Amino acid sequence: MKIGLYFGTFNPIHVGHLAIANHMAEYSDLDKIWMVITPHNPFKKKSSLLDNHHRYQMVQRALEEYPKIEASTIEFSLPQPNYTVYTLVHLQEKYPDHEFCLIMGEDNLKSLHKWKNYEAILENHEVYVYPRISEGVIETRFDNHPKIHRVAAPIMEISSTAIRNGIKEKKSIRPLLPYEVFQYLDEMNFYKS
Ligand SMILES: Nc1ncnc2c1ncn2[C@@H]1O[C@H](COP(=O)(O)OP(=O)(O)OP(=O)(O)O)[C@@H](O)[C@H]1O
Ligand SMILES: O=C(O)c1ccc[n+]([C@@H]2O[C@H](COP(=O)([O-])O)[C@@H](O)[C@H]2O)c1
């Protein structure tokens, strides 16, 4: 099977994430999408980060109606911070019959040259990149790269940061979250202080 790995902190998962995952599941050659919840992105501070378990619960609840998309906890048992190259090696050893591809927004492509062993990632895996409005430029080394494929997915400018800030400021952010995620956050009183 050809699996698209959609890595993220998902603090929390929002409808922008879901729209991308669904677009990839429906309009690409990928058989399945695994949303990999990252305990600790090497480029991000851990402050205001909910426990892995809660972020996983929200991803799982958001995906109940999407049979082609699954939540993956594979990084929970790997060393932190989570370097994607190690996760990919681990997954390929565990599932030798699957072909793993990466799904990322243009914002991540702009920093890919700073990722640990990014050359090894590109040597062994295809990368599907969808448009996302963000600062910075894409390194010329990635222009016309044979392993990097552009996907015309919709652009939805929503971020988990804006959602967390909105909740803190007592704004309604309800349309930005899948309903089950909104319910969970609200019941648990997350991000309110
Ligand atoms: N609105 C969106 N549309 C498309 N891709 C998105 C959107 N928000 C996040 N992504 C992408 O989803 C992946 C996981 O994102 P992440 O969990 O960091 O969400 P985020 O909203 O950017 O979070 P934060 O604001 O906390 O940094 C990243 O590859 C990121 O580029
Ligand atoms: O491997 C790296 O060097 C590396 C550097 C920065 C980010 N990543 C991964 O990229 C993924 C997207 O992160 P995020 O927080 O933007 O959703 C997440 O799984 C991070 O661990 C990986």
Ligand 1 site residues, Cβ closer than 6 angstroms: 8-11, 16-17, 20, 104-105, 107-108, 132, 156-161
Domains and CATH numbers, the chain: 2-156 (3.40.50.620)
Is the backbone peptide bond immediately before 12 cis, with ω within 30 degrees of 0?
yes
- Starting at the edge strand found earlier in the chain, the sheet holding 32-37 runs 69-72, 32-37, 2-8, 99-105, 127-130, 148-150
The pLDDT tens digits for 132-155 are 988 999 999 999 999 999 999 999
Best probe residue, ligand 1, of 9, 52, 84, 112 (max atoms within 8 Å of C-beta): 9
Place of tokens 């019941």: 187
Query: What pLDDT was estimated at residue 48?
Result: 78
Q: Which residues contact 27 (CB under 8 A, 6 or more apart)?
A: 151, 153
Query: Which three-class secondary structure state does DSSP give residue 182?
Result: helix
Can you tell me the ipTM of this complex?
0.94
How far apart are the C-alpha atoms of 128 and 101, rounded to whole Å?
A: 7
How far apart are the C-alpha atoms of 114 and 110, rounded to whole Å?
A: 9
pTM: 0.96
